[in-house]
């Protein structure tokens, strides 16, 4: 990639320009959301440092990510699902938690040992989740084995995490790092912090006896397929080398409403990553000193990571199998003629005029 001149970071350019565009796009949102109901909740299985565990995943409905309110990331439309007004009262937040517990009781015979709590922002940001609510959530799940909490690096604080670790819970912070490459994070994702801030957050979590799960974004806008693969391989390896980062989750970009990626996709300027690219990264990083997983949301659709359509479900199944077993040989069991097209795209797609295929 070319190197930017200092002028691109002036007001009205670079990140400031991205934020202006994102605010305009998000102003089109019309839907409203109930502060007493969670955004989503579901049951699944996850690979953890303690082995594969049944999991309860909760996405709380808050006032929205602080960075997204300023403009935010080019691919993230989750702030469009947040409650208007910027905050949700404690009682309403606990109503959401109870709704999640009710769902779990209906769907499962016993409580899941792993609970993952997301806000599409930062659970540890007290503007989104008040200290009173954080403590109550910790008490609610104190009988589980492990909890995962989503947060930007700024808000990772050992004292906040001790609400969980002091209750005997194994705790992890899920940090949306997106990439280990600062230039890509700033200019393609429009995220403001540096890799050094992620390293500092890992150290801060360690002070509370907590771990870190790094979330990476496979193929942000403005990268070719080949650049995206190389950036992910490098990012996984760099994250795995950071003390206290035990898991790396690679999220293939999908096209969400009210985002810059949506605008680019509509005009033919963005294609979500190939599932072959996801498999290639997992194969190339199988020896990394971390658990490396991926969950391609919306796989097989035009707006999600996809191949030709014929092999998408098979490749997705292999990815899920790898997540649980960490065995790259699963990818030897899937093949398709479109893999040759993907190889051509990776080697020949130009930065100008991408994407080469739809």
> Which residues, in sequence order, are bridge partners of residue 246?
none
Q: Which three-class secondary structure state does DSSP give residue 10?
A: coil
| Predicted TM-score (pTM) of this structure | 0.90
Domains defined along the chain, listed by start: 6-348 (3.20.20.70)
Task: Give mean pLDDT, residues 109-123.
Answer: 95
Contact 280, 229 (CB under 8 A): yes
- State the chain's mean pLDDT as an integer: 91
Q: What is the chain's alpha carbon radius of gyration, rounded to the nearest angstrom?
A: 20
pLDDT at 129 over 70: yes
| Paired residues of 43 in beta bridges | 56
Residue 234 and residue 180 in contact, taking contact as beta carbons nearer than 8 Å: yes
What is the rounded CA–CA span in Å between residue 253 and residue 355?
A: 14
275-284 average pLDDT score:
98
Find the length of the chain: 358
Closest CA to 219 of 201, 203, 231: 231
Whether 85 and 116 have beta carbons less than 8 Å apart is answered as: no
Strand order in the sheet with 146-150: 40-48, 51-59, 114-118, 146-150, 170-178, 211-218, 245-252, 291-294
Over residues 26-58, the pLDDT tens digits come to 566 566 678 999 999 999 999 999 999 999 999
The predicted-structure confidence for 283-322, as pLDDT tens digits, reads as follows 999 999 999 999 999 999 999 999 999 999 999 999 999 9
Percent of the chain with pLDDT over 90: 80
Inform me whether the pLDDT recorded for 87 exceeds 60: yes
Q: Where are the beta strands (DSSP E) in the chain?
A: 40-48, 51-59, 114-118, 146-150, 170-178, 211-218, 245-252, 291-294
Under 8 Å between Cβ of 349 and 226? yes
Confidence at 10, pLDDT banded by 50, 70, 90? very low
Q: pLDDT tens digits for 146-169? A: 999 999 999 999 999 999 999 999
What pairing do the DSSP bridges indicate for beta strands 211-218 and 291-294? unpaired
Which of 72, 183, 182 has the alpha carbon at shortest distance from 122? 72
């Amino acid at each position: 990639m070319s190197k930017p001149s200092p002028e691109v970071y002036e007001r009205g350019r670079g990140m400031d320009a991205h934020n202006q565009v994102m605010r305009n796009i998000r102003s089109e949102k019309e839907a409203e959301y109930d502060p007493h109901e969670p955004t989503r909740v579901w049951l699944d299985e996850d690979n953890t440092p303690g082995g594969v565990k049944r999991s309860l995943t909760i996405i709380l409905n808050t006032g929205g990510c602080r960075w997204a309110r300023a403009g935010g990331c080019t691919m993230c439309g989750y702030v469009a699902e947040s409650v208007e007004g910027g905050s949700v009262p404690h009682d309403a937040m606990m109503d959401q938690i109870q709704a999640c517990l009710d769902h779990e009781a209906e769907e499962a015979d016993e409580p899941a040992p792993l609970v993952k709590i997301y806000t599409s922002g930062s659970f540890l940001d007290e503007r989104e989740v008040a200290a009173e609510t954080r403590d109550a959530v910790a008490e609610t799940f104190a009988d589980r084995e492990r909890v995962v909490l989503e947060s930007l690096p700024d808000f990772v604080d050992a004292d906040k995490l001790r609400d969980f670790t002091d209750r005997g819970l194994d705790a992890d912070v899920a940090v949306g790092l997106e990439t280990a490459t600062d230039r890509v994070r700033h200019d393609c994702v429009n995220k403001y912090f540096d890799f050094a801030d992620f390293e500092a957050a890992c150290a801060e979590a360690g002070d509370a006896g907590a771990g870190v799960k790094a979330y990476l974004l496979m193929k942000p806008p403005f990268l070719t397929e080949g650049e995206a693969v190389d950036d992910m391989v490098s990012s996984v390896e760099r994250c795995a080398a950071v003390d206290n980062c035990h898991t790396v989750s690679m999220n293939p970009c999908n096209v969400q409403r009210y985002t810059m990626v949506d605008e680019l996709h509509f005009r033919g300027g963005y294609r979500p990553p190939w599932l072959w690219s996801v498999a290639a990264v997992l194969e190339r990083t199988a020896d990394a000193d971390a658990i490396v997983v991926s969950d391609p949301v919306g796989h097989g659709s035009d707006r999600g990571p996809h191949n030709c359509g014929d092999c998408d479900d098979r490749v997705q199944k292999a990815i899920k199998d790898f997540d649980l077993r960490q065995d790259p040989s699963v990818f030897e069991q899937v093949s398709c003629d479109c893999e040759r097209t993907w190889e051509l795209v990776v080697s020949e797609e130009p930065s100008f005029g991408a994407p080469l295929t739809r």
